Amino acid sequence: MGIADDIAGDWHAALAALAWQVELGLSDIPAETPLDRYDLPEPVKAPPPAPITAAAKAPTPPPPEPAAPNPAVAIDAARDAANRAATLEDLRAALAAYTHCDLKRGARNLVFADGNPQARVLILGDAPGVEEDREGRPFVGQAGQMLDRMFAAIGLSRNAPDPDNALYITNTMPWRPPQDRNPSDDEIAMMLPFVERHVALVNPDVIVLVGNLSLRMILNAKGIQRARGTWAEALGKPVLPMAHPAYLLRNPIAKREAWADLLSLQAKLRG
């Protein structure tokens, strides 16, 4: 008889006997029939991962960049939209709906105009700055305050109800360029039909070009300091180039020349 038969009735003794056999090296419980371990089934292996194809390795391509507007198409669209504007409100709406100029994408507001549309004097500035972009009105920053003081010295104001004493102010560009960069030739060409229509609708007696960009757009010239104070003709109107108020803030000595230009404007209006 085996050890297990001798201690079958004693559970603790059986546990102790099993522990003793494990200590001796017993690893399998004996069975009635021998076990052929070489006959055991092979363990199931996981299938190898599918190979990564070239298509899977390639990153997802970025979306294509929007195509740059064709300048000729953009200019034709601007001319058509501007010519169909019968009023200033129509022109504002046409600018707001115009999609060909990239400046619009980065600007906060459309900067259209300020002042009295019946004014004899139309001031055409350059492009809006950060404060103009924020408020949606031209010349509202420090340069705008300087401009108001300059023209007030000869009795003209954007707030005057009387056309003889009033100013109407607009810009060559209705949107602020990113980081206040200079507009490109294509951007200037796109906006020219709107500016021409703007002048035609207001029909001022005199146009004052304030800054290099307006000089470039209207007179196709460069160098406002060389051109300032010299009357010219454009868009069927007398045109007077003047230094930008921002330049006068940086160069106070140039205010003497600006005063001479203002007196020349005053004489033209009186004559």
Q: What is the CA radius of gyration of the chain?
A: 42
Q: Give the DSSP letter string of 198-249.
A: HHHHH--SEEEEESHHHHHHHH----HHHHTT--EEETTEEEEEE--HHHHH
CATH topology for 71-270? Uracil-DNA Glycosylase, subunit E (3.40.470)
Task: Please give the pLDDT value at position 7.
Answer: 46
Its pTM stands at 0.75
pLDDT > 90 fraction of the chain, expressed in percent and rounded: 73
Report the alpha-carbon distance of residue 137 to residue 140 in Å, rounded: 7
At residue 113, φ and ψ (nearest 5 deg) are -170, 170
In the chain, domain spans: 71-270
The yes-or-no verdict on residue 94 having pLDDT over 50 is yes
Report the alpha-carbon distance of residue 235 to residue 189 in Å, rounded: 15
Task: Please give the pLDDT value at position 271.
Answer: 86
Q: Provide the β-strand partners of residue 237.
A: 234
Report the alpha-carbon distance of residue 11 to residue 217 in Å, rounded: 109
Residues 76-86: pLDDT tens digits? Answer: 999 999 999 99
From residue 152, alpha-carbon distances to 92, 146, 157 in Å are 27, 10, 6
Residue pair 40/152 in contact by the 8 Å Cβ criterion: no
Mean pLDDT of 169-183: 96
Report residue 215 as tokens.
């000089």
